[in-house]
A = this chain, B = another copy of it.
Amino acid sequence: MDSKFNAYLEELGKLDYSKMYNNDFLHTWDKTTDELKAMYIVADALRNLRERNISTRIFESGLAVSNFRDNSTRTRFSFASGTNLLGLQQQDLDESKSQVAHGETVRETATMISFMADVIGIRDDKFIGEGDAYMKEVSESVEQSWRDGILDHRPTLVSLQSDSDHPTQSSADMLYLINEFGGLDKLRGKKVAVTWAYSPSYGKPLSCPQSLIMLLTRFGMDVTLAHPEGYDLMPDLVEQAGKYAKESGCSFRKTNSMAEAFEGADIVIPKSWAPYAAMEERTKLYAAGDSAGIDKLEQELLAQNATHMDWCCTPELMEKTANGKDTIYMHPLPADINGVSCEHGEVANEVFDYHRDGLYKEASYKPYAVASMIFLQKAKDPVATLRALEERGEARWYEA
């Protein structure tokens, strides 16, 4: 037995995560700290097995249904990869090719796609309140159908980004940090700047920064949230992040200065997002079908954005951080890079390019985060199952 793998299993054995079995993964804040820790460990254990060419298939057959209500490359491939790693076949619910528009209820569609679905992954991040509501309804629907004896099992859900949270992204972020710093406990006391940055586009989701402040504070990191006035996140979540910080004995500060947030930071995560109030307004305008209003709002927001073009992650700003240009810079990608994807954006090309490998490594954890969430939802005894997989020792990639 591999010693690193063995250490994972030992650590895992000390945690209580029994409620994850047969449950969903919709928000990190639905989970206990033990459960999150278990999820990171299982992700690393699965990666360890794959890198040793040991198959981690726990399904001989079964579908992993995805429903992307917004474009996606990274998360789409992470879901396809993570589910394939466990033996499932991805099947996309393309609502435009289905009869969903036919007035069918969520409960009905959810049941119809679930007869042989072991997991359902959903991205629905466009409108405030809607993504979370939709996922909850799907979850309750399949739960109901399972209790009613229609489904012989309960397909579990994984959020692939809602309007409030992006758990597979922030979990990949955590896994990257854990592996970079050499352990979850090493993150305690690290200073992180979660900051807004300028983007020439409009209406970017709030879920990434929200997911981060809610997660980093739980593991004892000193988080500074920075954005221009008016670019608030959802107030409930900001309040809860403060509570998490208090509970874990770290700090959670807010500021309207990017420079202040960068000052002495060990990790910087600058990214654009839309003001919460504007997103609420947009949701109402869409509901009312007011396209003139939507256009007007878009113009206003772009104009407002344009007054904050100085919110860019430049080499000068990086100099203010704990380790200068070597300070960890993170982004969920794709970033708006000055002179590459746009004229002025979230980050200077020089900074992005210097951190490219780190950014890509950060992304490389997402398939494992997905697989880990599912694994914990599907394996009654994860320690025993992981051990059995190692003992089974089936080659993922067979070479004589």
Interface residues of A (CB under 8 A from B): 50-51, 55-63, 65, 68, 71-74, 76-78, 80-81, 84-87, 89-91, 93, 97-100, 102-105, 108-109, 111-113, 115-118, 145, 148-152, 333-334, 336-337, 340-342, 357, 360-361, 363-364, 366-367, 378-381, 384-385, 387-389, 394-400
Contacts and interface: CB of A to CB of B under 8 A. Distances in A.
B99 A91 contact: no
Nearest to A341: B103
Contact of A116 (B76, B100, B367): B367
Task: State the number of copies, please.
Answer: 3
A60 B360 CA distance: 25
A340 B108 CA distance: 12
A360 to B, nearest CB: 4
A51 B363 contact: no
Contacts of A93: 73, 77
Contacts of A71: 97-99
B148 A77 contact: no
8 contacts: A60-B396, A63-B80, A71-B97, A73-B100, A103-B337, A112-B333, A115-B363, A380-B399
B72 A61 contact: no
A91 B98 contact: no
Contact of A115 (B55, B81, B334, B379): B81
A65 B84 CA distance: 13
Contact of A400 (B97, B387, B400): B387
Nearest to A111: B360
**Minimum-distance CB pairs A-B, first 5:** A103-B341, A388-B400, A81-B116, A73-B98, A384-B400
A179 to B, nearest CB: 11
Given A73-B99, A102-B334, A360 B145 contact: yes
B381 A400 contact: yes
Contact of A60 (B76, B395, B399): B395
Contact of A398 (B59, B89, B108, B148): B59
Contacts of A145: 360
A334 B85 contact: no
Contact of A84 (B116, B150, B363): B116
A333 B150 CA distance: 15
Contacts of A74: 99, 112
A50 B111 CA distance: 18
B77 A115 contact: yes
Which of A336, A363, A364 is packed against the most chain B CB atoms within 10 Å? A364
A261 B189 CA distance: 75
B89 A89 contact: yes
B60 A72 contact: no
A226 to B, nearest CB: 24
A4 to B, nearest CB: 15
Contacts of A387: 400
A62, A86, A398: most-surrounded residue (chain B CB, <10 A)? A398
Contacts of A384: 400
Contact of A89 (B60, B84, B108, B366): B84
A73 B101 CA distance: 11
A2 to B, nearest CB: 15
Looking at A366, A381, A400, the one whose CB has the most chain B CB atoms below 10 A away is A400
Contact of A148 (B100, B103, B357, B389): B357
B397 A59 contact: yes
Contacts of A97: 68, 71-72, 76
Contacts of A63: 77, 80-81, 84
Contact of A61 (B87, B333, B363): B87
